[in-house]
Every structure is written in structure tokens, then in C-alpha cells.
Amino acid sequence: MTASVSYASGPSDKPLLGMPIAELFDNIVGEYGDREAVVSLHQGERLTYRQLAERVDTLARAFMTAGFTKGDRVGIWSPNNLEWLVTQYATAKAGIILVTINPAYRVHELAYVLEQSGCRGLVLQNQFKTSDYEAMICELCPQLAGGDAGKLDSDKFPRLRTIISMTASAVSGIYNWDEFLILADSTSTEELALRQSVLDMDEAINIQYTSGTTGFPKGATLSHHNILNNGYFVTSTMNFTEQDRLVVPVPLYHCFGMVMGNLGCLTHGACAIYPSEGFEPEAVLKAVQQEKATALYGVPTMFIAELALPTFADYDLASLRTGIMAGAPCPVETMKQVNDLMHMTEVEIAYGMTETSPVSFQTRVDSPLDKRVSTVGQVHPHVEVKIIDAGTGKICQVGEMGELCTRGYSVMLGYWENADATSAAIDSSGWMHTGDTAVMDAEGYVNIVGRIKDMIVRGGENVYPREIEEFLMTHDGIEAVQVTGVPDPKFGEEIIAWISLKDGAKLTEDDVKQFCQGKIAHYKVPRYVRLSEDFPMTVTGKVQKFKMREISIKELGLEELQTA
């Protein structure tokens, strides 16, 4: 049936999972106990579901002995590893709200998250790349140096009591991992079972801080029901079974890793594979080959980096069947290469946001090729979406551009202790306003045009960066491109394209402009071209356009024209 207005609801022959994460976890362990649950290649460890359950229950009981009660918050600040996964499920079993902290955060940002969420505990990796996590927490809480583990008394963080290292720590006030696990001996399995029995699927179990372009991050608060079901339906849409083996190079602190990756595998008894602590393209391809992976996740920049490896052709990727590209708009050319060169004939595009657990749209295996490479697919099972005129709130006709809104089980409980921000994002009818500009066709396929705030208004013409980016990606010499706006005295805004070239390619600014002439409207041709390998990015691989804009304004000497 074709639609006339931009509204859709996701049908499904599978019901929602009506249980807390802990209950589903135990069910899966009972059914698939001897199957591999996780492989951490950089740690040289692999666990079956039964072995994972032993570690999870031990850590959950240790948290209980240490005085953590249902609803307490525990932060986790670490790159990808086995301990991250164990902590995710142990906190879910003990009813503790896991606060996922960006591994790229520094002292100021960490302090904000610990204070705003009221964390009682913090689990951390001692060090990763240039981040010395232990030194940073000691800077915030100097009392740790001479204190006893689990007895922190900080004026700045009055609720924070317990810091746990994922390995070992020389700081007396920080628990060694094994030392903390010994606490489990003082809490019985029956006491843990009793704790699990009072958990409710609609209770908060995860806080994820969204990296806004302005102001402080907001803590999107997600329930068992939110994230368990989203992980389940993402992988169900990919036709996952217990036979699937998924390589997860995306960070676990983000929904892509912990929901679509970890929970997506759990809900089907499948295996999650961590190739490295942080993203390393070669480690990803090695993991696929060695573990005979059937699925691979990544943001577009990750797939671009993998395809660009000089050794790419040396790897046997024939085991791959499916995967997801999400987190940012996917260049059509990249999608085609992933299909053809990486054997991911069933690769799917997903779209969503942290506040919606995260996925609201996903392409399907049987979607026509043009839809699979040019849209984010159709609405997710059990989810409603609509596209509205941001000025009037009216639902747009099919084909009209407007703001995307979503409603259903996946919408967050709200922003943690921030009622104003919550009411600004979720309206009285339960619709989450995404801030994204989108278009829906008559079959319900949606194209994300861009962020409303990313739209460039040049001389009264609305210019959507995505359209120019897609066009420039058709050039043989261009590997990646990002388009943003900069202030201009005549037109209000002008267009700048940041371009990364393929190895061996030689292009000038004039070459790029010449390539555009006569092929796209004159007002869409970039006024400025910046040839650069160095795109500012978040740790999840999302390009930070607001930073590109700031850098461009400074380099072009346009500071006096800046109004926003």
C-alpha cells in the first residue's frame, strides 16, 4: 500500500521482548551455554555464554557486596575489551544504571558526567593511547592516593565511593579488578536472584551522554525495554541466528557497540568479536578472516579506511554476509564497494540517534539496490515515524522535506535530571523530535537530507550538504568529502568542501570546481575547497561539522562575519 502523507508504523510478526536484560541473559545462557559469546582478539580471550555468565554473576555479586543498590549509577570509562562487556551485563543484573563515558573525554568532561549523573562507582581502564584515565581520576579525587579502596570521600563528588581498575592499580584507593571480584564471596547467588526478581523492564539501566555541538552533553536515559528490543530488532532485521559472528570495531560506550553489537548478539545467541581496543582497519580485516565472521559493523569512515588499505586484497573476507553501516550518511560509492569487494551482499544501512536506543530505520536484505544505497530504509518494527513541517507541526505530504519525528518503545525515558531539555525534545504526544531533515517516498523509504542546523542558506537558496557530498564522491580521485557552510558578506553563507584524496590522486581546488560545473546547480558549487586528510571526528568516527566550520572560518579570516 502506498502512502500519501509522510507517516509510517513498523509492522512485525515478532512481539516485543517484555523482560529486563538480566532475564533474557539467563534464558540465552540456558539455551546457548556452550556456544561462543565473545572473542576479544587483542586480549587473547574467548568465552562461551556459560563462561561469560560466571564472570557476569561474580561481578554483579561483588557490586552488591560493595553496597551498590538498585538504581545506583556506575560509570564505565574504557576502550573496547572483555571487562566492558562483563560490566555491562553485571550492572544490568544488579539493577545498576551504567553510565557510558566517552573514552576521549578529559578531566573537565569526566567531572561533569560524574557530577551530573551522581555516579557511586567508576570502572576504568588505566590507560589508552594518550589518555591516562587513572591519573585523571586522581587529579579530580586526590584523596584516592592515600585512601582505602571503596571508601572515597570527595567534597566535589559526594556520591562517588568506589573506583575499580579493569586490571591492577598502584593507587591504594583504587580496587584492582581481581581484588574487587573477591567481594562476590560475601553475596550469595540467591541474593543476586532476589535482586534480579525486583527489576522492571521499564526502569532506567543506561545513561549515554550525547555530544552536542553547543553546551554540555545531555544524559539520554534508556530503559531495559528500550535497548534490549532495539538490539533484538536490529539483528533480527539482518536475519541473525546463533550461527552469526559479528566483528564490532565501533566503540562500546556508544549505542552502536553496546546495543546493536553486544545486545544484538546476545538476543540471538550469536558471537561478538572485538578486533582491537580502538579502531584499527587492519585489525578489523584480520578479525574477519581469522574468526570467519559473517557480519561487520562500522561507520562509513571505517569502511572507507578498510577499503583503502594497501593490503586489502590480501584478506579473505568471503565469510561475510551482512553488516550495518550507520552513524553518518553513507556515500553511495562506498556502499557499492562494500557490497562487491567485501562480499557483504546483505549489508544494511541503519539510522537513528542515542535518544531512540538508537535505530528507527533500517534497509532490508530484499530492498531494491537503489533503495539500499540511497536511503536509510523503512521504519523499524514497532516504531512510528512522521515527517513534519517544523513551522506548523503538520505532517508533510510524501516527497516533501521536513523534520523527522519518531515514537514508540525506543524513545528514551528522558534526559537525566534535565526536564527542560526532555520537554524540548519529546512532545506531549510522545514524539521525539530528531532535528534531522528528511524526505519519505510513497513506499516509506526515507532519505536523511541532513541536520536542520547543518543546512546552508546561500542567497536565499537552501543547500543540503549531503547532496553535494554524494555528487563529489562520484569522482574517481576522491576518497571522502564533507561539506559545510561559512559566512559570506554577499550571500549570507558560502559552501566549503573538505576533501580527502585517494592515494596517488592529484586534484587542485580548480579541478574540483571544474568537475562540478554544469553537473550541479551553480549555487551548489563549493566556493572554497580544502584538501585535507585530517577531518575532526568524534571517537565513534562521526565527522564534527561544527569544528570544520570553526577551522574554516579561522583559516579564511571570516571571524568578523560570524553570527552564529
**Residue 367: per-residue pLDDT:** 86
Residues 6+ apart with CB under 8 A from 368: none
Say which residue the cell 553570527 belongs to.
Answer: 563
Tell me which DSSP letter residue 527 carries: S
Task: Point out the domain boundary residue: 141, 175, 210.
Answer: 210
- Domain of 514, CATH number, reads 3.30.300.30
**Residue 105: per-residue pLDDT:** 83
List the single range of 20-34, 74-88, 262-276, 520-534 with lowest mean pLDDT: 520-534
Residue 349: CA count within 13 A, CB half-sphere:
30
Say which residue the cell 572485538 belongs to.
Answer: 274
Residues 45 and 42: their CA atoms lie apart, in Å, by 8
Amino acid at 177: W
The pLDDT of 278-297, averaged and rounded, is 97
Extract the runs of DSSP E, i.e. beta strands, from 15-108: 36-40, 45-48, 73-77, 97-101
**Residue 466: per-residue pLDDT:** 82
Indicate the number of domains in the chain.
2
pLDDT classification of 564: cutoffs 50, 70, 90: very low
On whether residue 326 sits in a domain, the answer given is no
**Residue 440: per-residue pLDDT:** 97
Looking at every residue in the chain, the average pLDDT score rounds to: 93
What region, left, alpha or beta, does residue 267 occupy, with left being phi > 0 and alpha being psi -120 to 50 degrees? alpha
On whether residue 281 sits in a domain, the answer given is no
8-37 burial by CB neighbour count: b if 16+ within 10 A, else e? bbbeeeeebbebbbbbbbbebbeebeebbb
**Residue 541: per-residue pLDDT:** 72
Residues 554 and 548: their CA atoms lie apart, in Å, by 10
Helices (H) and strands (E) in the chain, counts: 18, 27
Residues 471 and 332: their CA atoms lie apart, in Å, by 9
Tell me which DSSP letter residue 387 carries: E
Residues 6+ apart with CB under 8 A from 272: 37, 38, 39, 85, 246, 248, 261, 262, 265
What three-state secondary structure class fits 408? strand
The pLDDT of 208-234, averaged and rounded, is 86
- Residue 252 pLDDT > 80: yes
List the single range of 263-267, 341-345, 356-360, 461-465 with lowest mean pLDDT: 461-465
Task: Please say whether the beta carbons of 536 and 543 come within 8 A.
Answer: yes
- What are 174-187's pLDDT values in tens digits? 999 999 999 999 99
Q: Percent of the chain scored above 90 by pLDDT?
A: 78
On whether residue 99 sits in a domain, the answer given is yes
On whether residue 295 sits in a domain, the answer given is no
- What are 202-212's pLDDT values in tens digits? 999 999 998 64
- Residue 365 pLDDT > 70: yes
- Sequence-ordered alpha helix ranges (H) in 223-298: 224-237, 255, 264-266, 281-291
Indicate the angle between helix axes 509-516 and 465-472, nearest 10 degrees: 100
pLDDT classification of 491: cutoffs 50, 70, 90: confident
Residues 535 and 111: their CA atoms lie apart, in Å, by 27
pLDDT classification of 33: cutoffs 50, 70, 90: very high
Q: Percent of the chain scored above 70 by pLDDT?
A: 97
On whether residue 543 sits in a domain, the answer given is yes
On whether residue 305 sits in a domain, the answer given is no
- Domain of 117, CATH number, reads 3.40.50.12780
- Residue 516 domain boundaries: 455-561
- Residue 545 pLDDT > 80: yes
The pLDDT of 248-252, averaged and rounded, is 96
- What are 148-200's pLDDT values in tens digits? 999 999 999 999 999 999 999 999 999 999 999 999 999 999 999 999 999 99
- Residue 296 pLDDT > 90: yes
**Residue 542: per-residue pLDDT:** 76
Q: Side by side, which strands form the sheet with 121-124?
A: 174-175, 162-165, 121-124, 73-77, 97-101, 204-210, 218-223, 414-415
Task: Point out the domain boundary residue: 187, 210, 233.
Answer: 210
**Global pTM value:** 0.85
- Residue 8 pLDDT > 70: yes
- Phi, psi (5° rounding) for residue 466? -55, -40
**Quick one: cell of 115?**
557530577
- Residue 555 pLDDT > 70: yes
- Residue 103 pLDDT > 80: yes
Task: Point out the domain boundary residue: 210, 226, 246.
Answer: 210
Amino acid at 364: R
On whether residue 275 sits in a domain, the answer given is no
pLDDT classification of 342: cutoffs 50, 70, 90: very high
- Residue 15 pLDDT > 50: yes
On whether residue 125 sits in a domain, the answer given is yes
